[in-house]
Chain A
Amino acid sequence: MAQTYSNDAFVAFERVQKSYDGETLVVKDLNLTMPKGEFLTMLGPSGSGKTTCLMMLAGFETATHGEIKLGGKPINNIPPHKRGIGMVFQNYALFPHMTVAENLAFPLEVRKMGKSEREAKVKRALDMVQMGAFGGRRPAQLSGGQQQRIALARALVFEPELVLMDEPLGALDKQLREHMQFEITRIAHNLGITTVYVTHDQTEALTMSDRVAVFNDGRIQQLAPPDELYEAPQNSFVAQFIGENNTIEGVVQQISGNRAVVRLDSGEVIDCRPVNVSKVGERTKVSIRPERVEIDKNRLHPDAHTLKAEVLEFVYMGDIFRTRLRVAGTDDFVIKTRNAPDQRRLQPGEMIDIGWLADDCRALDA
């Protein structure tokens, strides 16, 4: 079959807008393309428009404006049942009056598949999620994690090219969730399936995805691989939303190339990497990750700026130490240090000098 679309745009949102009441936009001018086989996560706080996007892709909501394409073809006017998209729902939506095997056979039956072929596929799908022995059970007789596996198997049994998952792990406890994160990515990669995954859990997004689209206020704030998202957030929302982050406000004093000098509101001056500040005098939020803060002077660059800090609280967390400091007028500046034999345990009240590499300190929009 001739491909009428570029390989990079298996799924494409083109200038998509969505409004429920005709007054406010829930999704504002969304543009997104996904190559085949990608695992993309839509991450964002509730009400950010991520689930609406998923529902538009599935066909349960219609776009107010713009075009959604699947395999190069516009799908705006195709009803959900003809889109051939697998979907895993938040509450699994396993049909309670059918057994597990009947649930899995359902999409095959409506496709008028023969009985023997159906049974073979159901068995293969159940084996894939290691639930081969549970075909005769009712969903209510399964644990949450087992139901999750069945929901996944059901969404995959009819071999869709695209699978959507709407916060599928939200109802599981932490340990099971971590296990299932691994399981889902393994299956998705093995089958080479294209996946759109919606979650508000950033750890989930970071550990599972090829790329993450961070949603806020109806727009994609940043679309990037997890490491880039974490280490190089493009704006202060992403910096705040992904991982733990220290923010200090100030004013840009100088910009030259990839160096900016920022005068903090408390008066100190520090070096930063300018990300989305452009001119002198602009207000900025300076962002620095807790684990990139250095407390050992010997490890810092000789001419690096340092700040005075007072230790407020020391929390032992096993693998790391989490220390809260008072720095440049803020009381919630957090640093994380590795629990190594030579690591210092800071005492509350202690005064220390802290510093960092200028590249790790990002001057973002205020």
Chain B
Amino acid sequence: MAETSTNGPMLAADGTPLKQSLAKALKRQKRMALLLIAPLLIFVLVSFIMPIGSMLMRSVQNTAGTDYVPDILPNVVVALEDWDPATGELPSEAAFKAMAIDFAAAFENKQHTQLGRRFNYETPGMSSLFRKSGRPISRLKIDQVTDFKSELIGMDKDWGKIEYWATIKANSGYYTASYYMAAFDAERTLDGVQMKEPDQRIYQKLMIRTLWLSALITLCTLAVGYPVAWLLADLPLRTSNLLMILVLLPFWTSLLVRTSAWKILLQEQGVINDIWVAIGFTERLSLINNQLGVVIAMTHILLPFMILPLYSVMKTIPPSYLRAAKSLGADNTTAFLRVYFPQTLPGIGAGALLTFILAVGYFITPELVGGADGTFISNRIYFQFSSMGNWGLAAALGTIMLLIVLLLYYVYDKLVGIDNVKLG
């Protein structure tokens, strides 16, 4: 064609490159569009992106309270530089002296208990040592003491524990990997980083349980939701609207109410067990405060998230496809498996992805009906966050969950293609 046969970029009527001309024409449009989404953009930035960023930071920052550990113990950090815990000897006299100086300053700023709690995450016992040592160390006359080592150990013999000093040395930087080590059930010993005993690897266990139960719940919602969605898509609009309201009803009820309702239904003396006994069984079933209870309650709660994407995809499949398959000689099963089912895959993909990701992060339901063996990783994160005050570990666990979900998303994209996900 004439326009493309010329060399170089296409030109607009006035001789400027066409691309430049177009960009100018679109600029105003783009500015308007940006203005329209600005409130949302700011909201997302402040309430979503920034908290996630801060969580990522917190999982590696080595802080006690609001300050970094090396800022509270500047002299100790320097004095411990040359010390190697593997030798089995206590640090030098200089290190003890540095500790006395830094500790007194920390006591002055009321930071010594926070510092103790920080080290206690790594080595239990250090919190009480730091608390008890506060006042005695602050009373020391620094320039009159000659032997800090014996003075401190005399004050509290725990100051003579090598592993305590090793913990202080290992956590003397601005950034630390120790939260991630804890999240992966590893610990720092005098012989280096090692995995904990198998029966103490609670995070691994919880992580696997969370993923496995979420997968199971997703499967259950699919098994229950697929026929419902099909029925909804197949019925005339009047009837299907009514049924859709029933499907959506759980959405309009408080999550807490729904979970409590399941508690009442499933408990030992609950409705279902009463019926079970009434029809002649003697043994009552334990349906709640275990994994079964979590699966039942969460399948119910997450069902709409599976049904809606399925429904919206099924609605777009004209009934003539099934008819065509049958007219070509396929029986009902073959027609469904070869013609209908493959076309609903985008809906299954969207529903499964949505349900699974929601399930992985679920908190209230496992907390209320999960009992001891039905809790999720999110419950543990909350526990570390609120009861232990160990925000670093909570952040590390949260970050790992985030990465796992992103990884699954990536794998899904590679296998199915995210373009094939259809929410409506």
**Complex interface: stretch among A90-98, A196-204, A310-318:** A90-98
A158-B318 in contact (CB<8A): no
Residue in B329, B332, B335, B342 whose beta carbon sits within 8 Å of that of A158 in the complex: B329
B329-A111 in contact (CB<8A): yes
Size of the A side of the interface (Cβ < 8 Å), in residues, is 27
Task: Known A96-B343, A97-B342, A97-B343; judge A110-B328 contact (CB<8 A).
Answer: yes
B331-A93 in contact (CB<8A): no
In the complex, A95→B330 CA distance in Å? Answer: 13
**Could you say which residues of chain B place their CB within 8 Å of the CB of A110?**
328-331, 334
In the complex, A58 has a CB within 8 A of chain B:
yes
B343-A58 in contact (CB<8A): no
Size of the B side of the interface (Cβ < 8 Å), in residues, is 19
B320-A80 in contact (CB<8A): no
**Could you say which residues of chain A place their CB within 8 Å of the CB of B339?**
95
In the complex, A85 has a CB within 8 A of chain B:
yes
Task: Known A91-B318, A93-B320, A97-B343; judge A106-B327 contact (CB<8 A).
Answer: no
Task: Known A93-B318, A110-B334; judge A154-B323 contact (CB<8 A).
Answer: no
**Could you say which residues of chain A place their CB within 8 Å of the CB of B334?**
110
**Could you say which residues of chain A place their CB within 8 Å of the CB of B110?**
none
**Could you say which residues of chain B place their CB within 8 Å of the CB of A90?**
320
Contact mask B333-354 → A, CB, 8 Å, 1/0?
0110011001100000000000
Task: Known A91-B318, A96-B343; judge A60-B329 contact (CB<8 A).
Answer: no
A106-B325 in contact (CB<8A): yes
B327-A87 in contact (CB<8A): yes
Residue in A80, A91, A96 whose beta carbon sits within 8 Å of that of B327 in the complex: A80
In the complex, B50 has a CB within 8 A of chain A:
no
In the complex, A241 has a CB within 8 A of chain B:
no
In the complex, B321 has a CB within 8 A of chain A:
yes
B343-A60 in contact (CB<8A): no
In the complex, A71 has a CB within 8 A of chain B:
no
| Interface hits, A48-93 → B, CB 8 Å | 58-60, 79-87, 89-91, 93
Which one of B325, B326, B335, B339 has the highest number of Cβ atoms from chain A below 10 Å of its Cβ?
A: B326
Contact mask A156-192 → B, CB, 8 Å, 1/0?
0010000010000000000000000000000000000
In the complex, A218 has a CB within 8 A of chain B:
no
| Interface hits, B77-128 → A, CB 8 Å | none
A87-B324 in contact (CB<8A): yes
In the complex, A66→B130 CA distance in Å? Answer: 97
Nearest-CB distance from B327 to chain A (Å)?
4
In the complex, A79→B324 CA distance in Å? Answer: 13
In the complex, A226 has a CB within 8 A of chain B:
no
B326-A93 in contact (CB<8A): no
Task: Known A110-B328, A110-B334; judge A80-B343 contact (CB<8 A).
Answer: no
**Could you say which residues of chain B place their CB within 8 Å of the CB of A164?**
327
Please, which residue of chain B has its CB at the minimum distance from the CB of A94? B324
Nearest-CB distance from B10 to chain A (Å)?
29
Please, which residue of chain B has its CB at the minimum distance from the CB of A86? B327
**Could you say which residues of chain A place their CB within 8 Å of the CB of B332?**
81
Nearest-CB distance from A125 to chain B (Å)?
12
Please, which residue of chain B has its CB at the minimum distance from the CB of A163? B327
**Could you say which residues of chain B place their CB within 8 Å of the CB of A80?**
323, 326-327
Please, which residue of chain A has its CB at the minimum distance from the CB of B341? A97
**Could you say which residues of chain B place their CB within 8 Å of the CB of A155?**
327-328
**Could you say which residues of chain B place their CB within 8 Å of the CB of A106?**
325, 328, 330, 338
**Could you say which residues of chain A place their CB within 8 Å of the CB of B327?**
58-59, 80-81, 83, 85-87, 155, 164
Which one of B324, B328, B338 has the highest number of Cβ atoms from chain A below 10 Å of its Cβ?
A: B328
Q: Mostly helix, strand, loop or mixed at chain A's interface?
A: loop
A93-B342 in contact (CB<8A): no
**Could you say which residues of chain B place their CB within 8 Å of the CB of A84?**
329
**Could you say which residues of chain A place their CB within 8 Å of the CB of B329?**
81-82, 84, 107, 110-111, 158
**Could you say which residues of chain B place their CB within 8 Å of the CB of A59?**
326-327
Nearest-CB distance from A248 to chain B (Å)?
44
Contact mask A93-115 → B, CB, 8 Å, 1/0?
10111000000001100110000
Which one of B323, B331, B334, B339 has the highest number of Cβ atoms from chain A below 10 Å of its Cβ?
A: B323
In the complex, A84→B327 CA distance in Å? Answer: 7
**Could you say which residues of chain A place their CB within 8 Å of the CB of B324?**
87, 89, 93, 95
**Could you say which residues of chain A place their CB within 8 Å of the CB of B325?**
95, 106
Task: Known A97-B342, A97-B343, A106-B325; judge A81-B331 contact (CB<8 A).
Answer: yes
**Could you say which residues of chain B place their CB within 8 Å of the CB of A85?**
327
| Interface hits, A118-167 → B, CB 8 Å | 154-155, 158, 164
In the complex, A14→B360 CA distance in Å? Answer: 62
**Could you say which residues of chain B place their CB within 8 Å of the CB of A97?**
342-343
**Could you say which residues of chain A place their CB within 8 Å of the CB of B330?**
81, 106-107, 110
In the complex, A86→B329 CA distance in Å? Answer: 9
A158-B328 in contact (CB<8A): yes
In the complex, A84→B330 CA distance in Å? Answer: 10
**Could you say which residues of chain B place their CB within 8 Å of the CB of A60?**
323, 326
Task: Known A106-B338, A110-B334; judge A91-B328 contact (CB<8 A).
Answer: no
Please, which residue of chain B has its CB at the minimum distance from the CB of A157? B328
**Could you say which residues of chain A place their CB within 8 Å of the CB of B323?**
58, 60, 80, 87, 89, 93
Nearest-CB distance from A136 to chain B (Å)?
18
In the complex, A197→B329 CA distance in Å? Answer: 20
Residue in B320, B328, B331, B343 whose beta carbon sits within 8 Å of that of A107 in the complex: B328
A89-B342 in contact (CB<8A): no
In the complex, A155→B323 CA distance in Å? Answer: 12
Which one of A58, A84, A97, A158 has the highest number of Cβ atoms from chain B below 10 Å of its Cβ?
A: A97
In the complex, A58→B326 CA distance in Å? Answer: 10
Please, which residue of chain A has its CB at the minimum distance from the CB of B334? A110
Nearest-CB distance from B84 to chain A (Å)?
65
Nearest-CB distance from A86 to chain B (Å)?
7
Nearest-CB distance from B336 to chain A (Å)?
12
B321-A93 in contact (CB<8A): yes
A95-B326 in contact (CB<8A): no
Nearest-CB distance from A244 to chain B (Å)?
34
B328-A154 in contact (CB<8A): yes
Nearest-CB distance from A74 to chain B (Å)?
19
In the complex, A164→B338 CA distance in Å? Answer: 23
Please, which residue of chain A has its CB at the minimum distance from the CB of B343? A97
In the complex, A93→B342 CA distance in Å? Answer: 15
In the complex, A164→B327 CA distance in Å? Answer: 10
What are 13 A-to-B residue pairs whose CB atoms are below 8 Å? A80-B323, A81-B327, A81-B328, A89-B320, A89-B324, A93-B323, A93-B324, A97-B343, A106-B325, A106-B330, A107-B330, A158-B328, A158-B329
The 9 lowest CB-CB distance pairs between A and B, nearest first, are A107-B328, A93-B324, A87-B327, A93-B320, A80-B326, A81-B326, A110-B330, A97-B342, A110-B329
Q: Which residues of A are at the interface with B, using a C-beta cutoff of 8 A?
A: 58-60, 79-87, 89-91, 93, 95-97, 106-107, 110-111, 154-155, 158, 164
**Extra inter-chain contacts (19) besides given A60-B326, A95-B343, A158-B328, CB under 8 Å:** A58-B323, A79-B331, A80-B323, A80-B326, A80-B327, A81-B326, A81-B329, A81-B331, A81-B332, A86-B327, A89-B324, A93-B321, A95-B339, A96-B343, A106-B328, A107-B330, A154-B328, A155-B327, A158-B329
